Amino acid sequence: MENDYFSHLSSEEKHILKDKGTEAPFSGEYNDFFEAGIFVCRACENPLYESNSKFNSGCGWPSFDEGMKGSIKKNKDLSGGRIRTEICCKKCDGHLGHVFEGEQITAKNTRHCVNSLSIKFIAHNNLEVATFGGGCFWHVGKTFRETKGVCLASVGYMGGNTLNPTYHDICKGNTNHAEVVHLYFNSEIISYSDLLKVFWSNHNPTTLNQQGLDVGTQYRSVIFYQNNTQKEVAETSLFEQKEKWKKEIVTQITSAEKFYRAEEYHQNYLNKNNLGSCGL
């Protein structure tokens, strides 16, 4: 008797998972999707990928640099007149996509190229969101990524007046976006108040639009609050910080706006390039 893993799927999902098809590039719901949670097999709900392994490869399909331990199996694929490595769900044998190595996009040097229709996202429902700008986002991102309780940290742009800004746009200094780190954190492990302590201790909040040698509005000190509670905690924290600095604190506290994730080469930049810091 045929296993029932695929009977509940739509014809499009079954075409990929069972018949080893492929969705069109840039058409899947998870291609440009970066939230905190896990991705499971759409057929059998076997956990496959943690969200912090996902990256933007530019290929048009969701890309991951590592699967969850024991979740995926590999097969030699000789179709199409070329040799590739197919990846399948280890539990139900559903087709996910293919794996490629040696492209040097991430530190793991591996790309799992996966169809959106093969997977399903399940959000971590116990996480909160926070966004901070404290100068070069390479440094800020590394700081928070290494903070216990932070589950996912992405660098990018917020607070400007241009849609879909690029790093090139930001560097011109006329979009008004700040370089920020946008993170998901577990408040049972680290509180928002403690995240603010990390924020204050890792940059100079008294230099207007400047951190070290980096000068421009994109390097401003800013806290983007997600709700009124965060606003109140941030304002209290800023008041407490005034006694610790001889000069006036110029940090902005403002409501969060749309977050634009930065280009992939900026994500985890310092670790990718074996740099301890960016010179701040």
Burial class (CB in 10 A: 0-12, 13-18, 19+), 258: exposed
Cα torsion 171, 175, 181, 185 to 10°: value is -170
Q: Which of 136, 151, 171, 278 is catalytic?
A: 136
113 is catalytic: yes
d(C-alpha 5, C-alpha 93), whole Å: 10
Q: Which of 113, 151, 171, 278 is catalytic?
A: 113
Residue among 178, 246, 249 nearest 207 (CA): 249
For residue 243, the surrounding DSSP H or E stretch is none
Amino acid at 67: G
Residue among 165, 152, 144, 178 nearest 270 (CA): 144
Token pair for 95: 């087709």
Cα torsion 269, 274, 276, 277 to 10°: value is -30
Amino acid at 211: Q
Residue among 133, 138, 207 nearest 176 (CA): 133
Long-range contacts: 211-218, Cβ < 8 Å, 24+?
A: 211/134, 211/135, 211/136, 211/280, 212/135, 212/279, 212/280, 213/279, 214/135, 214/136, 214/280, 216/171, 216/173, 217/173, 217/176, 217/178, 218/157, 218/170, 218/171, 218/173, 218/177, 218/178, 218/179
Active site residues: 113, 136
